[in-house]
Structure 1
Amino acid sequence: MASTDTNHIVWHDASVSRTERNRKNGHESFVLWFTGLSGSGKSTLANAVSRKLFEDNKQTYVLDGDNVRHGLNQDLGFSPDARQENIRRIGEVSKLFVDSGQIVSTAFISPYKEDREQVRSLLADDEFIEIHVDCSLSICEDRDPKGLYAKARSGEISSFTGISAPYEEPDEPEVVVNTEDQSIEEAVHHIVGVLQQKGLV
């Protein structure tokens, strides 16, 4: 069994700094953290923002909740502890993306405030932009694009956020978009506008 002693591990500085990467890319690097209920439109919106920034010659990447659970986090379930570890790992990966000079969008329910704040604490000011994708449970359940709410209601899925597990809305997110009232295009325009106002892109 591998040793868990980390006292002998030393951080190795890269030959190319983040500042150099940002200068070459022509923009800052940061995390766009999309949080909201399943079916609220997080992944759709994160990808639409990423596409817009990419077309504006920005370096972008999307970390999607389902995609990450196919690989990096395939060993995790959906208990509170497993959800916490899921977000912890994503936070560390996101931090590496920021160091690489990229704008990384993360589309995760991330239901617990404490876990989201833990990720925020890994990053400097203006490196963590929390985006609450606000949409009522009833609308998300009506959409049910993956059929998950139906399975949760029938008992096939346990610990499902909004049904049998809690979702804690952000208190003071940097951005709020409401996908009941706003189109994807309107929401993208709003998010990119906030990034421009902050001087990040």
Structure 2
Amino acid sequence: MTLNFPPGEFDAYIFDCDGTLIDSMPLHLDAWRAALAKHGFPTESFTYKMHHAFAGMPGPAIVRALNEQFGMDMPPLAVEADKLAWYLNHHHNIKGIEPVVEFAKSQKNLKPMAVASGSDAEIVKSGLEALGILDLFQTVITPVDVPHGKPAPDMFLLAASRLGVSPGRCLVFEDGHLGVEAAKAAGMPYVFIPTPESEF
């Protein structure tokens, strides 16, 4: 994979986590399917493409969207808790997305960096710790930190604020459609990390 950087110099870098720094999207898909099945959702209906379309959205919001789309009444917080528990029980073998991880490592002590992820804080921090890269980042933003998740710009704007850098001087690394929309809404250029379902 080659990272395609936009032109210009940047003062800070903000990374999505799952599918950008960590190759964890297949594991997240399995976790969602296990949790949804426990609540009576037909797991074959939760496809990879659907999962990727939700990338960056907080878990309870995903459940609410599925309830609306499929006419169900699953409890969002309970499904999210079941998904979190399943993921944490199976996440020991995750791997990094090497070009992105290596770039982040190359910028240690050179530029301030943050992670802004729609995943649960425990999932994000445990994944970064498992790869030995948590200490690269000055701050980690998750849905509990902001009023609105991606595609709203809140996460990226908060990350920029915490790093002390104006939004237009931050470069975002993202694999999700919603994350790209959030970066655009924040006025931040971005590097798109392709996945099998990418349609950009």
Please indicate, yes or no, whether the TM-score normalized by the shorter chain is above 0.5: no
TM-score normalised per structure 2? 0.33
What's the TM-score, normalizing by structure 1? 0.32
The structure that is helix-richer by fraction is 2
